[in-house]
Amino acid sequence: MTGFALGVDQEEWCGQLRALAVQRLRPLAEKGEPGRVNRPLLAALGELGLLERVFTSGALELCLLRESLAYGCTEAETALALQGLGAYPVLRAGSEEQRERWLPQVRAGRAVAAFALSEPGAGSDAAALALAATPDPDGGAGGGGWRLSGEKCWISNAPEADFYTVFARTGEGPGAKGVSAFLVPADRPGLSGAPLDMLSPHPIGSLAFDGVPVGPGDLLGEPGRGFRVAMDTLNLFRPSVGAFAVGMARAALDATLAYTADRPAFGGTLSDLQAVAHRVAEMATRTEAARLLVYAAAGAYDRGAGDVPRRAAMAKLLATETAQYVVDHAVQLHGAVALQRGHLLEHLYREVRAPRIYEGASEVQRTIIAKELYGAVAPR
């Protein structure tokens, strides 16, 4: 890839993915129940080898995968992304036993993963989480472990996941320094959950931990290093959240181009109206700018650049805000037809709002960007 364009092979692969999403995955998504895990869809993603790609691809390839799937089937994109988000900490920080137990099942679409970070009082401020891991020398899973007590909220795939990557306060230090990561199977005693009725159609729920036993064998990485596990995961997935948003924006833009070019209005078509044509031009320009910034952030991650947090935050910020703008104006240019249940834009209008909040709200991304910028300024 150059700084401005994808290679021919990459473009062809993206085209194949878009067609696959429409022809093979969308019919499975349409049979699913909103707010529930669609296991047949996950199985298809595994059978097609797409879940495997989440764990073997670089950041750029992951972005191309998510963007292309989002263009043709947002449900398939989200199901794939949530598997990656929940299981990537196992790949990076898990023991050999944890990886062998869970990752093949995740890759095949047979085990559902979830990333359990947010809490009722700690969403964007992830370092402020309060789920307590109390030492339990005589108990825990395998002895010498902890008991988890507290709540998690707004957890994608909860309460239907088969295991959770859970971040809890073990108290080695204040703030982020006292957070550890655990792999917690869903059948662990004391763990319960409930679905939440949300605007987004994918499954989201809350989790309650009532003295859930975990042991040293459940740790992901070292005690007190869980926040780094979380941030390593988010630094990879933030640009690809931007790619998800770009895929939705491109789908909305293409639908708007086709509709306005064909819709009769005032003796011509909508596209003949300068106000409409200029609005579409603005939508296209913003979408392309966001797309390029996402690719640049992903390329920086793949190169191991030192400014990945800033670039990832910029990519997520611009892409998600742009997608909201593009989808909103696409609805406006379509008029009432786009508000009908089942219309592509009605679906995208519900999907596009959440990415501006999850994995770090837009305000958090701006804070990260500013911190990185000012951190590079030499003190006077």
| pLDDT tens digits, one per residue of 157-181 | 999 999 999 999 998 777 778 899 9
Using the predicted structure, report yes or no on whether residue 2 has a pLDDT greater than 50.
no
Q: What is the pTM of this model?
A: 0.93
Q: How confident is the model at residue 350 (pLDDT cuts 50, 70, 90)?
A: very high
Dihedral sign from CA coordinates of 335, 323, 240, 351: negative
Phi, psi of 37 (to 5 degrees): -65, 130
Of 172, 359, 363, 372, which residue is the catalytic one?
359
Q: Which of 107, 127, 151 is the last residue of a domain?
A: 107
Q: State the chain's mean pLDDT as an integer.
A: 93
Q: How confident is the model at residue 136 (pLDDT cuts 50, 70, 90)?
A: confident
Which are the contacts of 346, defined by CB distance < 8 A and separation ≥ 6? 331, 338, 339, 340
Return the bridge partners of 313, or none: none
pLDDT of 377 reads 87
Exposure b/e, 275-286, CB count within 10 A at least 16 = b: ebeebbeebbeb
pLDDT of 375 reads 92
Which are the contacts of 233, defined by CB distance < 8 A and separation ≥ 6? 85, 88, 89, 92, 115
Q: Report yes or no on 28 lying in a domain.
A: yes
pLDDT of 4 reads 62
Using the predicted structure, report yes or no on whether residue 368 has a pLDDT greater than 70.
yes
Q: Which of 204, 224, 244 is the last residue of a domain?
A: 224
Q: Which of 91, 107, 123 is the last residue of a domain?
A: 107
Could you tell me the two tokens for 115?
Answer: 């990333």
Phi, psi of 166 (to 5 degrees): -110, 135
Dihedral sign from CA coordinates of 369, 371, 376, 378: positive
Q: Report yes or no on 380 lying in a domain.
A: no
Using the predicted structure, report yes or no on whether residue 258 has a pLDDT greater than 60.
yes
Whether 195 and 319 map to the same domain: the answer is: no
pLDDT of 3 reads 54
Q: How confident is the model at residue 1 (pLDDT cuts 50, 70, 90)?
A: very low
pLDDT of 128 reads 81
Rounded CA separation 215/203 (Å): 28
Domain CATH number, residue 79: 1.10.540.10
Q: Report yes or no on 147 lying in a domain.
A: yes
Whether 235 and 338 map to the same domain: the answer is: yes
Residue range 247-260: average pLDDT? Answer: 98
Q: Report yes or no on 3 lying in a domain.
A: no
Whether 286 and 360 map to the same domain: the answer is: yes
Residue range 9-31: average pLDDT? Answer: 96
CA proximity to 226, closest of 179, 287, 184: 179
Whether 127 and 94 map to the same domain: the answer is: no
Instruction: Give the residue numbers spanning the domain of 296.
Output: 228-375
123 vs 82, residue with greater confidence: 82
Out of 4-8, 150-154, 196-200, 357-361, pick the least confident.
4-8
Whether 147 and 177 map to the same domain: the answer is: yes
Domain CATH number, residue 269: 1.20.140.10
Work out whether strand 145-156 and strand 204-214 pair parallel, antiparallel, or are unpaired: antiparallel
**What's the domain count of the chain?**
3
Type of residue found at 107? R
Q: How confident is the model at residue 380 (pLDDT cuts 50, 70, 90)?
A: low
Whether 180 and 297 map to the same domain: the answer is: no
Mapped to the 3 state alphabet, what secondary structure does 17-54 carry?
Answer: HHHHHHHHHHHHHHHCCCCCCCHHHHHHHHHCCHHHHH
Q: Report yes or no on 200 lying in a domain.
A: yes
pLDDT of 99 reads 97
Using the predicted structure, report yes or no on whether residue 141 has a pLDDT greater than 60.
no
Residues 119 and 131: beta-carbon distance below 8 Å: yes
Indicate if 282 belongs to the active site. Answer: no
Type of residue found at 352? V
Whether 189 and 217 map to the same domain: the answer is: yes
Whether 57 and 175 map to the same domain: the answer is: no
Using the predicted structure, report yes or no on whether residue 53 has a pLDDT greater than 80.
yes
Whether 355 and 263 map to the same domain: the answer is: yes
Measure the N-to-C terminal CA separation of the chain; round to a whole number of Å.
40
Using the predicted structure, report yes or no on whether residue 193 has a pLDDT greater than 80.
yes
Residue range 29-44: average pLDDT? Answer: 95
Whether 298 and 213 map to the same domain: the answer is: no
